[in-house]
Structure 1
Amino acid sequence: MRISVKAPAKINLTLDVLAKRPDGYHEVEMVMTTVDLADRIDLTLLEEDGITLDCSASFVPLDERNHAYKAAQLLRDRYGVKKGVRIYIDKQIPVAAGLGGGSSDAAAVLRGLNSLWGLNLSLAELARIGAEIGSDVPFCVYGGTALARGRGEIVTPLGPPAPCWVVLAKPPLGVSTADVYGSLRVDKIARHPRTDAMLKAIERQDFRLMCDSLGNVLEEVTLPRHAQVRQIKELMRDSGADGVLMSGSGPTVFALVQKQAKVYRIYNALRGFVKEVFAVRMLGGSEAEILA
């Protein structure tokens, strides 16, 4: 028996850091939404106990360092599953890009194995397990659009934002999320995002307010270190993007665009600057829709 599960990328419409927690993590407040750029996870049931992992990208680890492998291992050990699984990841989301690819893969494995192994766990239970793997995994379990608090594990699903195009551009560099968070001085943050305004924009499906409310405090760390990220933002704005922001800890930058004619202009301008450019739509709907 084999099933396939979609693992969509996420972007941060807002990312605020409120405090450093006693457990070493940061207290965050983020509005995230899924976009139509996705890995495909194939899960094949094995009668014998064991987990094997393969991936279309040669540089991805194939053991417990991989979030997808870790998700399968955690489910198997916690619920005493005696059957195994072969996992294959068709990798489309750039790695170490701020798009939650590894977290989304883990969430897809949790959802898929819940069905394949007949565990009958709720999304809330899967999200709690996902929080042990990574801070973005609970959001990725639910998908769609949501407000995430705590260290990311407190997820409040939201309605879909105003429909639009999203142009993603990743420069040829990797950014360590742990390093970016570790370098952030919470008491020195110059400007916090307007999370309440973003929530209002989503509730009203107000595209203009959504663009005006974009904000990510991690730009204060990543942009000074990587000139290419700043240059991509400027190029997007100069090419007519309605809203521009870095996603997560970077280095990927996204542009929100309503008119399709602008999408081609921005895409073509970026293709002359970086190789990894994607023009996609926001998904923004429910978990059931993103799995279709």
Structure 2
Amino acid sequence: MFIRQDGPQLEVLAPAKINLFLEVLGKRDDGFHELDMLMAPVALYDTLTLTPTQTPGITLKSRWARGLEHQPELPVVEDNLVYRTLLLFHQELQEVRGDSLGIAVDLVKRIPAAAGLGGASSDAAAALIGANRLSGNPLSFDSCCRLASQIGSDVPFFLYQSPARCQGRGEVVTPIAAGQSLPLVLIKPAAGLSTPAVFSRVADFGFDSPQPMNSMLAAFCSGDVSGVGRSLHNRLVQSALAELPELESLIQKLGGYDVPGFQMTGSGSTFFLVCRHRNQAKHIASRLRQTKLGAVIDTYTLGQSFGCAA
């Protein structure tokens, strides 16, 4: 997460993420699934501009960036995760300091929705970090993490601003040092996927033989791109295919490229290719754009401590 302050105004760049490894270990008593994931932030950003206001209250305006107006309609203000995050922060601020929050937020979206890229969760984390800074950092990092876990399972990950192993339902975060940045190509089909719908089908395909993360961690930490490609894993692929069978044609197409590996991120519908170098990523992205299989973005993973601390 990158933060720039211009007078009283704060601009926060909220990155997307990919799941290099996602294993489902079982169903929990609270209804969530027990997960073991390796997630990495990616250089694809939404932009939040936060401005303090003299009168208490939360104002949010959200829109797609220029050229992306064809994307799905964004949620109404009350359902937007940024707004809900700021409401929780306002309540916390009142308890901690007796103050009310007065803030106006302008959100410009570039991360595709219903894509498995964590855009809404990243926006929520950015709003939390930004509001806390504009308020004089009344909440500690641990308090921010506690609040983030109430907002969404992926939100705590983005507070750490680092690749990380995420366990529990995703809220137990252990930062991981990356051996190197991974060149990527993202491809997001026109159709998205609902996270609850995909997870609801996991039991149909079973999770009795979980795959260990050892080989992925070793390859990722040492910067072994080929090893990362061989170790890519996502337990949700079969569930996603059951929800969106047309993903099969995309999988067949991606299998024809000479890259270390490719995989779906999160609950889909985005897939990514891990490439050997940035030039290969740009070349493959150019070829994929001609297929009309979806939106194509060439980018790369971000390393540890890539942004500003909360």
What is the TM-score of this pair, normalised by structure 2? 0.88
| Root mean square deviation, CA, Å | 1.9
Equivalent residue runs for 1:1-292 within 5 Å: 1-57=8-64, 59-80=73-94, 81-185=99-203, 188-189=206-207, 192-271=210-289, 272-288=291-307
Q: Distance in 2 between matches of 1:111 and 1:193?
A: 34
Letter of the structure 1 residue corresponding to residue 105 of structure 2: I
Question: 2 CA distance for matches of 1:275 and 1:19?
Answer: 32
Q: Give secondary structure in 2 for the equivalent of 1:74.
A: helix
Q: Distance in 2 between matches of 1:124 and 1:235?
A: 44
Shift in alpha-carbon separation, 1:278–1:203, aligned structure 2, 3 A: same
Which stretch shows the higher mean deviation, 171-180 or 204-213?
A: 204-213
SS in 1 for 2:44: strand
Contact 1:35-1:284 at 8 Å conserved across structures: no
Q: Is the 8 A contact 1:144 1:283 kept in 2?
A: yes
CA–CA distance in structure 2, aligned partners of residues 26 and 62 of structure 1: 28
Contact 2:16 2:111 in 1 (8 A): yes
Residues 192 and 214 of structure 1: CA distance in aligned 2, closer, same or farther (over 3 Å): farther
Distance 1:254 1:54 in 2: 30
User: What SS does structure 2 have at the residue aligned with 1:64?
Assistant: helix
- 79-88 or 209-218: bigger deviation: 79-88
Aligned to 2:3: none
Matched residues in 2 for 1:153 and 1:45: separation? 29
Q: CA deviation at 1:141?
A: 1.2
- Asked if 2 retains the 8 angstrom alpha-carbon contact of 1:127 and 1:138, the reply is yes
Shift of 1:112: 0.6
Once the two structures are TM-superposed, the CA of residue 106 in structure 1 deviates from its matched residue by 0.1
2:111–2:117 CA contact under 8 A, matched in 1: yes
Provide the C-alpha distance between the structure 2 equivalents of 1:239 and 1:269, rounded to a whole number of angstroms: 10
Report the residue type matching 1:74 in the other structure.
L
Q: Output the CA distance in 1 between the equivalents of 2:108 and 2:216.
A: 33
Secondary structure of the structure 1 residue equivalent to 2:181: coil
Number of equivalent positions: 291
Partner Cα separation in structure 1 for residue 297 and residue 50 of structure 2: 26
* Amino acid corresponding to residue 198 of structure 1 in structure 2: M
Deviation of 1:191 (Å): 6.1
Is the contact made by 1:144 and 1:287 (CA closer than 8 Å) also made in structure 2?
yes
The structural deviation recorded for 1:190 is: 7.5
Greater than 4 Å deviation, 4+ residue runs: none
State the identity as a percent.
36
Whole-angstrom CA distance in 2 between matches of 1:241 and 1:204? 19
**SS of the counterpart of 1:41?**
strand
State the Cα distance separating 1:200 from its structure 2 match: 1.3
State the alpha-carbon separation in 2 of the partners of residues 150 and 258 from structure 1: 32
* Contact 2:25/2:207 (8 A) holds in 1: no
Distance (Å, rounded) in 2 between the aligned partners of 1:134 and 1:150: 12
Q: Which secondary structure does the structure 2 equivalent of 1:54 belong to?
A: strand
CA–CA distance in structure 2, aligned partners of residues 42 and 96 of structure 1? 23
